[in-house]
């Protein structure tokens, strides 16, 4: 694993909990624990078309980050979906926000189209998104911003979206044919969907690994509703965002993959399941080390 002169792991990132502004003391605690990246969520998408609000919010975030050595990763609003005029304008605002905040990597929930619409409607909606993204990614590239398209998973059983399949995300990125576009491979989400499809996770994600520019890391109990959920885990919820090792993601199988890859490894652990940041840093280092992964 790459480290800098003082031993900070250059690939490790932690997410700033949604709804909490990243204050300097909080960011310094991430830095002290050994994280090099912090992921922060953008404001709601309706604000992203207001240049003044974008300038104020992004500028304030930039000022806070400048007091640390952390690299900024931004997460676009969950409900942003390129392919219609309103969302495209908001996507442009998201790119501008990233540039103003000093961020070169934005996570985007691509292909978030429900399969219940039917094959023809899904295909048409994905084509519209692809057309818009070709233009938007070119704009992002000019500003030095990359877009990482993320695979998702059902939060609860029953609803299926095109974005649940990493290969759909991979096909979209290939179609964009721009180095400013890549995949954010969410391993927690892949665990759920691979189990739903009766597939081994390493094989499930293998076809898209070369396109990955960011990993999201968290744990859950896969597609099972009957596994032990000690500690008051919500019944029926699949996408739990637990700390690695608290669920059933097979980290021993994924550790060699993470160790070989060069993409940043970004933790996404929800506050109720979140230990101290120093503990999280230790856990993520271990899961990226094949010889110790089986002990997690």
Name the least confident of 73-87, 101-115, 205-219, 250-264: 250-264
For residue 5, being part of any structural domain is answered with no
Integer CA distances (angstroms), 249 to 92, 189, 290, in order: 36, 10, 15
Q: Which tokens belong to 112? A: 């978030």
Q: What is the mean pLDDT of residues 182-196?
A: 98
For residue 37, being part of any structural domain is answered with yes
**Predicted confidence (pLDDT) at residue 78 exceeds the cutoff of 90:** yes
Residue 11: per-residue pLDDT? 92
Give pLDDT tens digits for 5-50. 334 588 999 999 988 999 999 999 999 999 999 999 999 999 999 9
Q: Which tokens belong to 129? A: 């998104």
Q: Looking at residue 187, which CATH number applies to its domain?
A: 3.20.20.150
Residue 85: per-residue pLDDT? 98
Residue 269 makes CB contacts below 8 A (sequence gap 6+) with: 15, 218, 241, 242, 243, 280
Task: Supply the Cα-derived Rg of the chain in whole angstroms.
Answer: 18
For residue 262, being part of any structural domain is answered with yes
Q: Which tokens belong to 157? A: 């059983």
For residue 138, being part of any structural domain is answered with yes
Residue 230: per-residue pLDDT? 61
For all residues of the chain together, what is the average pLDDT? 93
For residue 282, being part of any structural domain is answered with yes
**Structural domain count, the chain:** 1
Decide: 13 and 38 in contact? Cβ < 8 Å: yes
Give pLDDT tens digits for 92-121. 999 999 999 999 999 999 999 999 999 999
For residue 4, being part of any structural domain is answered with no
Q: Which tokens belong to 234? A: 């919500």
**Predicted confidence (pLDDT) at residue 293 exceeds the cutoff of 70:** no
For residue 7, being part of any structural domain is answered with no
The model's pTM is: 0.94
**Predicted confidence (pLDDT) at residue 1 exceeds the cutoff of 60:** no
Host domain of residue 85: 12-293
Residue 7: per-residue pLDDT? 41
For residue 45, being part of any structural domain is answered with yes
**Predicted confidence (pLDDT) at residue 2 exceeds the cutoff of 80:** no
Give pLDDT tens digits for 147-186. 999 999 999 998 999 999 999 999 999 999 999 999 999 9
Residue 288: per-residue pLDDT? 74
């Amino acid at each position: 694993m790459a480290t800098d002169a003082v031993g900070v792991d250059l690939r490790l990132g932690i997410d700033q909990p949604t709804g909490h502004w990243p204050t300097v003391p909080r960011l310094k605690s991430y830095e002290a624990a050994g994280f090099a990246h912090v992921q922060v969520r953008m404001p709601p998408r309706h604000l992203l078309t207001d240049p003044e609000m974008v300038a104020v919010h992004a500028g304030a975030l930039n000022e806070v980050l400048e007091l640390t050595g952390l690299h900024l990763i931004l997460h676009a609003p969950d409900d942003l979906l390129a392919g219609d005029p309103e969302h495209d304008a908001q996507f442009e605002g998201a790119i501008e926000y990233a540039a103003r905040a000093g961020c070169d990597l934005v996570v985007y929930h691509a292909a978030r189209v429900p399969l219940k619409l039917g094959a023809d409607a899904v295909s048409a909606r994905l084509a519209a998104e692809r057309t818009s993204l070709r233009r938007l990614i070119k704009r992002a590239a000019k500003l030095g911003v990359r877009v990482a398209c993320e695979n998702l998973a059902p939060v609860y059983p029953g609803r299926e979206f095109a974005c649940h399949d990493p290969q759909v995300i991979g096909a979209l990125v290939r179609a964009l044919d721009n180095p400013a576009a890549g995949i954010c491979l969410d391993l927690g989400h892949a665990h759920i969907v691979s189990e739903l499809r009766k597939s081994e996770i390493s094989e499930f994600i293998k076809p898209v690994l070369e396109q990955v520019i960011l990993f999201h890391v968290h744990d859950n109990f896969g597609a099972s509703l009957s596994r032990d959920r000690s500690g008051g885990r919500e019944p029926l919820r699949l996408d739990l965002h637990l700390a690695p090792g608290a669920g059933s993601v097979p980290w021993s199988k994924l550790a060699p993959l993470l160790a070989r890859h060069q993409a940043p490894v970004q933790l996404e652990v929800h506050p109720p399941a979140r230990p101290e940041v120093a503990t999280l840093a230790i856990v993520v280092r271990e899961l990226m080390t094949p010889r110790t992964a089986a002990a997690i």
